[in-house]
Every structure is written in structure tokens, then in C-alpha cells.
Amino acid sequence: MCGIVGILGKGAVASHVVDCLHRLEYRGYDSAGIATLENGHLEVCRAEGKLRNLEIKLSRHPLNGRSGIGHTRWATHGKPLERNAHPHATRRVAVVHNGIIENFRELKQGLLDLGVSFISDTDTEVVAQLVDRELLAGHAPAEAVAHVLPRLRGAFALAFLFDGQDDLMIAARRGSPLAIGYGEGEMFLGSDAIALGPLTNRIAYLEEGDWAVMTRAGVEIRNEDGVIVERAVQIVPAGALLVDRGNHRHFMAKEIYEQPEVIGHTLGHYLDLSSDTVNLPELPFDVKGVRHISITACGTALYAGAVAEYWIERFARIPVSIDIASEFRYRETPLADDGITIVISQSGETADTLASLRYAKACGQKVVAIVNVPTSTIAREADAVLPTLAGPEIGVASTKAFTCQLATLACLAVALGRANGTLSADDEQRLVHELMETPRLMSEALKLGPQIEILSRTLAKARDVLYLGRGPAYPLALEGALKLKEISYIHAEGYAAGELKHGPIALVDETMPVVVIAPHDHIFEKTVSNMEEVAARGGQIILVTDPKGAQAAHVDAVQKLIVPEMAATICPMVYAIPVQLIAYHTAVIMGTDVDQPRNLAKSVTV
Ligand code: G6P
């Protein structure tokens, strides 16, 4: 969480820093700030709330410095108040920080004992004060930072600006990503390359433990042993830096409607249509020998994994265990010698997912990562990477990344089945053909938009909403409930339809909408029984199904959202569309901040 920007520019940088921060708002948006050097001296401007508030302040008191750092915050230590907003500065140094300094309490106590006083409740101010003391003791800025970094524990990215040093910025990375951007006589720093999109496409990524001394002429990067190192400069393709809403009101809407296209790209990456086969990259283990698969992830990515459990067990007959990354990493679960671990992450930076990857590797397992950001830490540390080609996802509530994760996992499941001999070449051919139908069917499902918009007016009045599904539609029910909670703030729960009678049915009355996700499959009749149980208690049913399901559902008080009939395998991807649209339209009616819902952040690196 939190986004960092730094610019050593040719002219005034404040407006560019703010532009870059806008591109990082997905990382946090509860306060923001900027520090520049005005006539050689540090000046800080900070504001609570969205970046807009910072912009208003800056329009009243413009900053004109040519060197600047900026920050958009997701609060960890200290409430989202102005005094806790970054940059934190002393007279000599200003710092912005992403991550957590775990030993800040003991460091702070040491400083308090020396008579240092603190203004904020943050861990970050401790870093500013520690560097300040080193500068006060007569050390040069780089020396001061080099003395302080080894004293910090935790995962962080830091950027420093120094009073009187117009051509200097120092950055450090331990656990949280940092990208260095190269310009002509200018240098840039950002939490990711997207932040720097309008300024440069020449990017080098700092590696774990690196710290960098930047001037307008270039950068000197050292690793954690203090040895000067080279980090390759890459040209980031323009498409990867594009961030705009197109004709849509929200990024989330744009990303929902983009799905047929990006699913097409992702499937195109893994399916070979000339031979009707799935083509995965070379994997660093013998696929035939895999006897167990552990899947771990957070949030929406976890639910993609939960769908994959059904696919992998069905196609490859390999038992799968799925676990929330924040549980998996601490549970010290024994991992089978003949097993592999799959981690799933849009950002590739989620702290718990990364820690789970490291745990699995430490247990001697090979780790396959399904990630959307190919330069991310998870992508770099995994033994094999299966990229999702969703493109940058900006809306905090994940949509297209989810369905691209599903598409990738479906291909992986087919490849495992083929390698294991549980799928024949004919089965593989049939599944490839079915998968290739997904983009078209998603486009059909998107036509439900206007109907869902009307239906959402009722949902927006609900206090609680229940989502039910069986089989792979069960994790989709969990995802539907998560999506609604995240962006409309309506309480929602996802349940396996068969569990309804074991508790949640007690909640059902005439005020309770129940969204039932049920393609007309071999367990459809069972779900109809559950719907009857709901209808008998006056619950309002919204049934997401296909034409056959719509005809067979003889239950009172049902509103139907009908998608075309399709092969069972691709249902989770196509049915995700109405589920996402329900959350989106309900949130729009509720008037919430759809792309930046309260208290959330897209990339949870703490
Ligand atoms: C946050 C986001 C979710 C996302 C989860 C995992 O909670 O708000 O949308 O699913 O993190 O993120 P990842 O980048 O690892 O997929």
C-alpha cells in the first residue's frame, strides 16, 4: 500500500508529482503529500483525504521546486490525519515511505530518550529523525542513509530528499517495489512503472535490498552489501502504461467491459489453435509426477484459486488444497514432497502471498505463480510464471484480473490433465474449443447491463444480500458477495447452496435478496430446492442462469438474469460478468466511490 513518486526535473515538478500520484491512487488514497526544494530548502504540503484536496492546497500555495517527492497513503500506523500524511520531514531531510518499519517502537523510544520530539503517530517519522541525526552528526546524505537502513526491520520502500541538495534523491527497497525512470537530464522514481508513464518508458527495477543515489545525470545502485550493481533498463511497452477510463464513468466499468478482449489475449497466449492443444511454458518440474497441489492467494485471487480446485481435481484428478495466504504462511502446513504450490496474485506484490511463496520454496516445493504484473516480486521469485494478460487494472475491486486468472488456471488444469493421462487428446481438443468460446459468450453476458442496472435499484435498498452457488459457482458466490461488500458497503455473504439450511436460512425474510448462480447443470435441481426454501420464507431471488435453467426454475418471486447456454468449464468466467455488474450498478446507485472504495487499497504490501 501507499504510492511513492520522486522527480529530479528540469523545471517545476509539483504538478508532475501529483499527476504521477493520481496513477498510484489505487495503492491508497486516505491522504497525500509532496515535498520540494524551494530555493534549496525543503517545503512540504500535505492534505487529508483524496489527492484533490492536496491539489486545492497546492493551487493556493504553489510549490516551484525542480526536485520533489510525493506520496499517497493507505494508513497503517496512525489515523489518516494531515499530521500523519507523508512526506515526514525535519529541517534537513524529507522522506516518503511504503511498507512497515516493524521495529519503529524501539527506535522511537531510543530517539525519545535522546530528547527528539515527534509530530506524527507514524513509523515513517522515525526514519526521518534517524537520518536527521546522522546528518546533524556531519555525515553526507548517502552515508547517513547507509547508516540508518541496516537499523530498520520490516518491508519497505523509501525515498529521501535533502535540504540544500537540489540534485540528489535517495531511494531504498526492501520488500516493497520501486522503479527508477530514466529521462534526458531528468530522473524519476515510482512505486511502479505505470506511475511514471507520462514521463518515461525507460525503467529499471530495484531489487531486494538495493538502494540508489540519484542525480539528474543518472543513478548509482548498491545492493545490501554496499556493492555497486547494474540493474537492467527495460523499455516498457506503451500499452502497459496506459491508464484511462475510455468512455466509461469508472475504471471498474471499463475493466468489466474489456473482459472479452483481455480473456481473448490470455487464452490466445496458452491455446494453440493449429493443434487444438494447451501450450504452457516449460515448467521446472515433471508435471506427470505431481501428486498434490496447494493453492494460496488473497481476496479475489483466492476465489479464482477456489474455482481452479474444481477444474484441477476434475481434469487431472490431483487433490488440491486451497488456503488463504495469511493463514498458509503462518500455519506451517506440511507440504508433500511430490506436490507443487500455485500462488495467484494480480499485483504480484501482496505481502501474505509473497510470504507464502517463500514458505513453500523454503519447504523445497516448486512454485508456479499466476500474476498480472510480470515485473513483480512474486513473478521474479517464483520457479515458473504463468502471466495473465489483463493489462493494468486500476479499479480497486478486481474484475478482469479475476477472469484472466480463471482463464489461465483453466488452461493449466487441462495441461495437467493431459500430462497425467486423465484427459485424452480428444478431451483436450474439446476443452480448447470450449475455452475459445469464452470471449464471445462474455460479450453476450455484457448485454445484461441495462437489466442489471434496473434490478440494482432494489438491491441498493437491501441491508444484507446472500449469494448462493454449487460447484464452481460456489466460489463465484463468494466473489459476488465480496464485490458487493467492497464497493457498495452492503453486507453480503456467499454460501455453498447446500449449506443454506445449516445457518444462513435463518436470515432469510422478505427484505433479503438472494442471488443464486446456477447454470443448468447436473446439480441444478438441487439448487432449485434451495431456491424453494428461500421463496417459502419470502426471500427475493435473483437467479443467474441459462435459458434451460430459466425454464426449469419453477419457483415464485424469481427475477432471472439469463446468459447463453455454454459448456460447464467456461461458466465461471462468463457468469462472473453479471456478478460484477450487479455490484457495480448497485454501488453506482448507492453513490459510493466505485474505483476507490473506503478503507481499501488495491495492492496490499503490508
Ligand atoms: C486487495 C484487493 C483485492 C485483491 C487482493 C489480492 O484486497 O483489494 O481486489 O483481490 O488484494 O491482491 P493480488 O494483487 O494479490 O491479487
Residue 510 binned pLDDT confidence (cut-offs 50, 70, 90)? confident
What per-residue confidence (pLDDT) applies to 132?
98
- Decide which of 408, 436, 464 is a domain's last residue: 436
Look at residue 601 and tell me if it is in a domain.
no
Angle at 203 between CA 199 and CA 209, to 5 degrees: 125
- Decide which of 216, 247, 278 is a domain's last residue: 247
| Measured distance CA(591)–CA(168) in Å, rounded | 44
| Cα distances (Å, whole numbers) of residue 596 to 26, 194, 372, 382, 566 | 7, 17, 20, 30, 34
| Measured distance CA(557)–CA(394) in Å, rounded | 37
Secondary structure tally for the chain: helices H, strands E = 20, 27
| Measured distance CA(478)–CA(481) in Å, rounded | 5
What per-residue confidence (pLDDT) applies to 598?
81
* Ligand 1 pocket mutation, candidates 298, 326, 396, criterion most atoms within 8 A of CB: 298
* Ligand 1 pocket mutation, candidates 343, 346, 396, 593, criterion most atoms within 8 A of CB: 346
If you ran DSSP here, which 8-state letter would residue 224 be given? Answer: T
| Measured distance CA(554)–CA(166) in Å, rounded | 74
Nearest ligand 1 atom to alpha carbon 601: 8
What per-residue confidence (pLDDT) applies to 585?
97
Nearest ligand 1 atom to alpha carbon 297: 15
Amino acid, res. 578: P
Angle at 169 between CA 164 and CA 170, to 5 degrees: 125
What is the pLDDT averaged over residues 262-284? 92
Taking CB atoms within 8 Å and a gap of at least 24, the contacts of 37-43 are 37/65, 37/66, 37/67, 37/68, 37/161, 37/163, 37/165, 37/166, 38/63, 38/64, 38/65, 40/163, 40/164, 40/166, 41/163, 41/164, 42/89, 42/91, 42/92, 42/93, 42/94, 42/161, 42/162, 42/163
Residues 87 and 199 in one domain: yes
Residue 240 binned pLDDT confidence (cut-offs 50, 70, 90)? low
Nearest ligand 1 atom to alpha carbon 396: 8
pLDDT at 293 over 70: yes
With residue 326 as reference, give the H or E element that holds it: helix 325-331
- Decide which of 247, 281, 304 is a domain's last residue: 247
**b/e burial code for range 285-312 (CB count within 10 A of at least 16 → b):** bebeebebbbbbbbbbbbbbbbbbbbbb
Q: Which of 366, 483, 485, 602 is catalytic?
A: 602
Look at residue 599 and tell me if it is in a domain.
no
In this structure, the residue with its CA closest to atom 2 of ligand 1 is: 602
Look at residue 537 and tell me if it is in a domain.
yes
Residue 110 binned pLDDT confidence (cut-offs 50, 70, 90)? very high
In this structure, the residue with its CA closest to atom 15 of ligand 1 is: 345
CA of 271 to the centre of ligand 1 (A): 27
Closest CA to 149 of 163, 134, 164, 136: 134
CA of 482 to the centre of ligand 1 (A): 11
**Grid cell of 4 as nine digits:** 511513492
pLDDT tens digits, 301-356:
999 999 999 999 999 999 999 999 999 988 888 998 899 999 999 999 999 999 99
Q: Which of 2, 45, 404, 571 is catalytic?
A: 2
* Ligand 1 pocket mutation, candidates 307, 398, 599, criterion most atoms within 8 A of CB: 398
If you ran DSSP here, which 8-state letter would residue 538 be given? Answer: T
Residues 189 and 264 in one domain: no
What per-residue confidence (pLDDT) applies to 606?
65
Closest CA to 341 of 322, 314, 373, 366: 366
pLDDT at 162 over 80: yes
What is the pLDDT averaged over residues 84-99? 96
CA of 300 to the centre of ligand 1 (A): 6
Look at residue 271 and tell me if it is in a domain.
yes
What per-residue confidence (pLDDT) applies to 144?
98
CA of 600 to the centre of ligand 1 (A): 10
In this structure, the residue with its CA closest to atom 3 of ligand 1 is: 299
Domain that holds residue 351: 254-436
In this structure, the residue with its CA closest to atom 5 of ligand 1 is: 299
Look at residue 604 and tell me if it is in a domain.
no
CA of 20 to the centre of ligand 1 (A): 21
pLDDT tens digits, 448-493:
999 999 999 999 999 999 999 999 999 999 999 999 999 999 999 9
In this structure, the residue with its CA closest to atom 4 of ligand 1 is: 299
With residue 322 as reference, give the H or E element that holds it: strand 320-324
**Is 2 one of the annotated active-site residues of the chain?**
yes
pLDDT tens digits, 361-395:
999 999 999 999 988 889 999 999 999 999 989 88
Residue 506 binned pLDDT confidence (cut-offs 50, 70, 90)? confident
CA of 39 to the centre of ligand 1 (A): 42
pLDDT tens digits, 176-207:
889 999 999 999 999 988 899 889 999 999 99
Residues 459 and 429 in one domain: no
In the three-class reduction of DSSP (H, G, I as helix; E, B as strand; rest coil), residue 34 is classed as: strand
Q: What is the CATH number of the domain that holds 206?
A: 3.60.20.10
Beta strands in 105-261 (DSSP E): 154-162, 169-174, 179-182, 187-190, 202-205, 211-215, 218-222, 228-229, 234-235
Residues 10 and 89 in one domain: yes
pLDDT at 259 over 70: yes
In this structure, the residue with its CA closest to atom 7 of ligand 1 is: 299
pLDDT at 558 over 90: no
Residues 87 and 130 in one domain: yes
CA of 2 to the centre of ligand 1 (A): 14
Give 284's contacts (C-beta < 8 A, 6+ positions apart): 366, 383, 384
Are 236 and 203 within 8 A, CB to CB?
A: yes
Q: What is the CATH number of the domain that holds 363?
A: 3.40.50.10490
Nearest ligand 1 atom to alpha carbon 350: 15
Residue 577 binned pLDDT confidence (cut-offs 50, 70, 90)? very high
φ and ψ at 539, to 5 degrees?
-65, 145
**Is 602 one of the annotated active-site residues of the chain?**
yes
Q: How far is CA 457 from the centre of its chain?
A: 29
Residues 169 and 188 in one domain: yes
pLDDT at 535 over 90: no
Q: How many domains is the chain built from?
A: 3
CA of 349 to the centre of ligand 1 (A): 9
The residue that leads in pLDDT, 271 or 194, is: 271
Residues 411 and 284 in one domain: yes
Residues 428 and 457 in one domain: no
Residues 239 and 315 in one domain: no
Residues 456 and 583 in one domain: yes
What per-residue confidence (pLDDT) applies to 605?
65
pTM, full prediction: 0.82
Residue 100 binned pLDDT confidence (cut-offs 50, 70, 90)? confident
Look at residue 106 and tell me if it is in a domain.
yes
pLDDT at 557 over 70: no
* Ligand 1 pocket mutation, candidates 25, 303, 328, 350, criterion most atoms within 8 A of CB: 350
Residues 534 and 407 in one domain: no
What is the pLDDT averaged over residues 155-163? 95
Angle at 517 between CA 511 and CA 523, to 5 degrees: 120
* Ligand 1 pocket mutation, candidates 343, 347, 483, criterion most atoms within 8 A of CB: 347
Look at residue 84 and tell me if it is in a domain.
yes
Ligand 1 pocket (Cβ < 6 Å) reads 298-301, 345-347, 350, 353, 396-398, 600, 602-604
Nearest ligand 1 atom to alpha carbon 398: 9
In this structure, the residue with its CA closest to atom 8 of ligand 1 is: 602
In the three-class reduction of DSSP (H, G, I as helix; E, B as strand; rest coil), residue 85 is classed as: coil
Residues 266 and 229 in one domain: no
Look at residue 605 and tell me if it is in a domain.
no
Residue 25 binned pLDDT confidence (cut-offs 50, 70, 90)? confident
Are 179 and 189 within 8 A, CB to CB?
A: yes
| Measured distance CA(595)–CA(606) in Å, rounded | 21
Nearest ligand 1 atom to alpha carbon 600: 8
CA of 388 to the centre of ligand 1 (A): 14
DSSP-assigned beta bridge partners for residue 4: 71
